[in-house]
Structure 1
């Protein structure tokens, strides 16, 4: 969906950069190696975006324009498709480069926040949208189908049998494994960048744990945001959710510790002093 894909693209870029964190740490002091890891990781990210993610988005936008725009438009004009494609490239690039910069500066939790926040926004848009009907719009096969608060069983079955669901299923069978494979290869050095090649199982373990973070804390934060705004209203609900998010996303929170271990597993368990904000070393204590 056009409203979701920019956040997803940013998250993809951030995730690909995080996959290179251990190799960046191993290349400490070697600027040439770090630049090679950055450049080849970014190339792999943009190849994935250009060969799979963006073409699939264009297919959906032309085949199901109403659904792809969450029924905001009946058709997507060519200029919007062109701007949308370019915007996704920019989002993925920004996510990768900012996350990489934070890793190099010794701020792994700040880097992880790029990934976590992106997927929280993905789920917030999917579940709540801009008016509380996000999930209803996702499960609608026609503009009039999301007028009721919740879908009926018959409507869900109708959606699952629709060409939209069938297209998403086949695209997902290609897109998700390809994204996981890119991250595994970036983790293990499989793109050919200089450095020590890690075990493939380490890369697979990383992407599985990252997936658990996406489907666990990120999804839970989005659901809680939607519930808070729906029950208490935008002001009170937004304030309550902000307080919850600050606690969950605090640098000393359990989620922060888990993310550090995923990104830099060998560097974490005993907790060490935080490096200075301007430090140039890649540690896991920040």
Structure 2
């Protein structure tokens, strides 16, 4: 249901977010299946991965294709003026790419969670959403928000001659905005319900009480701010720096700021990540079918 240039970033971010929210369950799943036959350890047998693929295929793809058919100019960020300008292979790639990107995001984040790098799984979510918001806010030419807020090609062409307020009013009274509201209620509502539900489910498993340092409601708020709010703020900052300093100076400066914010051990984002209750000790399957929690001084191979 989002513009095509940003859709794959969004799908990847959703897949990574689902895997991170289900991190504790995925550890239990790996632990249960350790030593079992190849059928039970198959990727297709993972219910969380299957539900992620189902979400992408049943909700993200049809809503995106509907908007592409209903308003191809808006859906392509005004690269195409009408249906005749949209190559059929592009539509095919979009329809197939959304589930692939969501599955890829899930598998990468799952691998990081199981390998003892849960914070790097979170960075997959933040990175995907940063690219999503960056595309919508700035785009490839600094006019991303203009393309998003222009329901038609004439509206996009009129940006230099009209005020931002009038463009926003035109957008929120358009049929495209109405479609976004209806589809957003289904897609984003299901996405948030799934992510929060899997977090809640994980908190009921052993070890959750010692990992979650704040009440559940506050933990959900912190998780939402980290996954959605921080990347959006980063996209705004990157856009401002590029506009003020140009791409050659603005982007390297933003990379330095983002690195100092996210990567050091004293990073406030790392500290907030530790409050939410996504496991900081990550279970790994041993070659002999046993398992242990990474980071423990003494590995309990019988656990």
TM-score range, shorter chain: 0.7 to 0.9
Alignment counterpart, residue 100 of structure 2, candidates 90, 113, 121? 90
Query: Would you say 1:227 and 2:240 are equivalent positions?
Result: yes
Change (3 A) 1:83 1:174: same
Greater shift, 139-148 or 222-231, is seen at 139-148
Query: Would you say 1:60 and 2:67 are equivalent positions?
Result: yes
Query: Would you say 1:218 and 2:231 are equivalent positions?
Result: yes
Change (3 A) 1:205 1:59: farther
TM-score, normalization: structure 1? 0.82
* Separation (CA, whole Å) in 2 of partners of 1:29 and 1:175: 32
Q: Write the deviation string for residues 219-252 of structure 1: whole angstroms up to 9, x where unpaired.
A: 1111010011111001111111111111112142
Q: Which residue of 2 aligns with 1:12?
A: 14
Greater shift, 1-10 or 136-145, is seen at 136-145
* Separation (CA, whole Å) in 1 of partners of 2:136 and 2:93: 21
Could you tell me whether the CA contact under 8 Å between 1:184 and 1:204 is conserved in 2?
Answer: no
Change (3 A) 1:220 1:111: same
Could you tell me whether the CA contact under 8 Å between 2:57 and 2:98 is conserved in 1?
Answer: no
Could you tell me whether the CA contact under 8 Å between 1:22 and 1:263 is conserved in 2?
Answer: no
Query: Would you say 1:111 and 2:121 are equivalent positions?
Result: yes
* Separation (CA, whole Å) in 1 of partners of 2:191 and 2:242: 33
Q: How does 1:27-38 map to 2 (within 5 A)?
A: 29-32=31-34, 35=41
Change (3 A) 1:205 1:19: farther
* Separation (CA, whole Å) in 2 of partners of 1:282 and 1:56: 41
Q: Write the deviation string for residues 69-98 of structure 1: whole angstroms up to 9, x where unpaired.
A: 000112333321111111111110110001
Q: Write the deviation string for residues 130-187 of structure 1: whole angstroms up to 9, x where unpaired.
A: 0000001100122243343684322221111000111101111111111122223433
Q: Which residue of 2 aligns with 1:139?
A: 149
Alignment counterpart, residue 46 of structure 1, candidates 26, 30, 53? 53
* Separation (CA, whole Å) in 1 of partners of 2:216 and 2:79: 40
What is the Cα-based RMSD across aligned positions, in Å?
3.1
* Separation (CA, whole Å) in 2 of partners of 1:185 and 1:98: 21
Change (3 A) 1:151 1:68: farther
Q: Write the deviation string for residues 239-279 of structure 1: whole angstroms up to 9, x where unpaired.
A: 111111111121421112212432526x59xxxxxxxxxx9
* Separation (CA, whole Å) in 2 of partners of 1:53 and 1:28: 28
Q: 1:29: how far off?
A: 4.4
Greater shift, 22-31 or 207-216, is seen at 22-31
Q: Write the deviation string for residues 50-75 of structure 1: whole angstroms up to 9, x where unpaired.
A: 11111100101111110000001123
Could you tell me whether the CA contact under 8 Å between 1:18 and 1:263 is conserved in 2?
Answer: no
* Separation (CA, whole Å) in 1 of partners of 2:60 and 2:30: 32
Could you say what secondary structure the match of 1:180 adopts? helix
Q: How does 1:153-164 map to 2 (within 5 A)?
A: 153-164=165-176
Q: 1:26: how far off?
A: 5.0
Aligned residues: 267
Q: Which residue of 1 aligns with 2:177?
A: 165
* Separation (CA, whole Å) in 2 of partners of 1:251 and 1:31: 35
Give structure 1 stretches of 5+ with no counterpart.
269-278
Structure number with bigger Rg? 2
